């Protein structure tokens, strides 16, 4: 999915972000959510600044009806092909890379060969998977595929503020409301009947 217009220049000032991290480390006692902010800034500092757009891994896998590869294994596959790759602070399953689309889909084709799926012959997944990959992707995890923010176990993405966070169940009617509605409807019918009799 692609929409526009977009900002195609570098998205982050890495030097500025790093200076914020240094400032935060020096005065972390002054900030209630210092750990969360540090994690977010760390992810921003690791992003590819010259790659404005990102892919979302779960959407790609949804298109192919396949299981989602481990992010470290996927990062390793791109790096083995000589491309840069990073996550994005905007989404936990996002990936930014300077690899062309063709390489991305070839890597995913190699993944599906390892984890076969059944798809309808006329589906987009069948069309994509019908092409043989031009590369041989390796999903063996490299040591340098693990970003520092993950190694340090930083709180990289905001956590839910409370258990069972999310849309709640639909509000229930208060006791007696349904009966009151029925009574109101009955009274309305009586009024209509009286008006009809008066107009005859």
Flag whether 192 is in a domain.
no
Beta partners for residue 56, in sequence order:
94
Flag whether 118 is in a domain.
yes
Give the mean pLDDT of 38-42: 87
The model's pLDDT over 71-90, given as tens digits with 9 standing for 90+, comes to 999 999 999 999 999 988 88
Flag whether 185 is in a domain.
no
> For the chain, how far is it from start to end, CA to CA, in angstroms?
64
Quote the CA–CA distance of 93 and 58 in Å, as a whole number. Answer: 7
Domain of residue 139: give its range. 14-151
Flag whether 22 is in a domain.
yes
Quote the CA–CA distance of 16 and 1 in Å, as a whole number. Answer: 31
Least confident range from 81-90, 108-117, 145-154, 175-184: namely: 175-184
Flag whether 193 is in a domain.
no
Quote the CA–CA distance of 136 and 1 in Å, as a whole number. Answer: 27
Flag whether 160 is in a domain.
no
Residue 156: closest CA among 25, 33, 43: 43
Residue 126 has pLDDT above 90, yes or no: yes
Residue 109 has pLDDT above 60, yes or no: yes
Q: What is the pLDDT of residue 85?
A: 95
Whether the CB-CB separation of 127 and 89 falls below 8 Å is answered with no
Number of domains in the chain: 1
């Amino acid at each position: 999915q692609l929409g526009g217009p977009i900002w195609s220049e570098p998205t982050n000032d890495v030097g500025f972000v790093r200076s914020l991290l240094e400032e935060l480390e020096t005065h972390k006692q002054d900030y209630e959510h210092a750990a969360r902010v540090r994690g977010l800034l760390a992810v921003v500092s690791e992003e590819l600044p010259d790659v404005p757009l990102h892919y979302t891994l779960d959407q790609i896998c949804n298109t192919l009806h396949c299981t989602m590869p481990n992010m470290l294994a996927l990062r390793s596959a791109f790096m083995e092909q000589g491309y840069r790759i990073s996550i994005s602070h905007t989404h936990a399953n996002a990936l930014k890379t300077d690899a062309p689309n063709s390489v991305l889909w070839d890597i995913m084709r190699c993944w599906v060969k390892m984890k076969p799926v059944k798809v309808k012959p006329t589906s987009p997944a069948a069309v994509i998977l019908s092409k043989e990959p031009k590369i041989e992707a390796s999903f063996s995890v490299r040591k340098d595929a693990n970003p520092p923010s993950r190694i340090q176990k930083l709180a990289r993405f905001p956590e839910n503020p409370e258990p069972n966070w999310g849309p709640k169940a639909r509000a229930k009617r208060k006791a007696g409301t349904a009966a009151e509605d029925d009574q109101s409807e009955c009274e309305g019918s009586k009024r209509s009947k009286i008006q009809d009799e008066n107009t005859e």
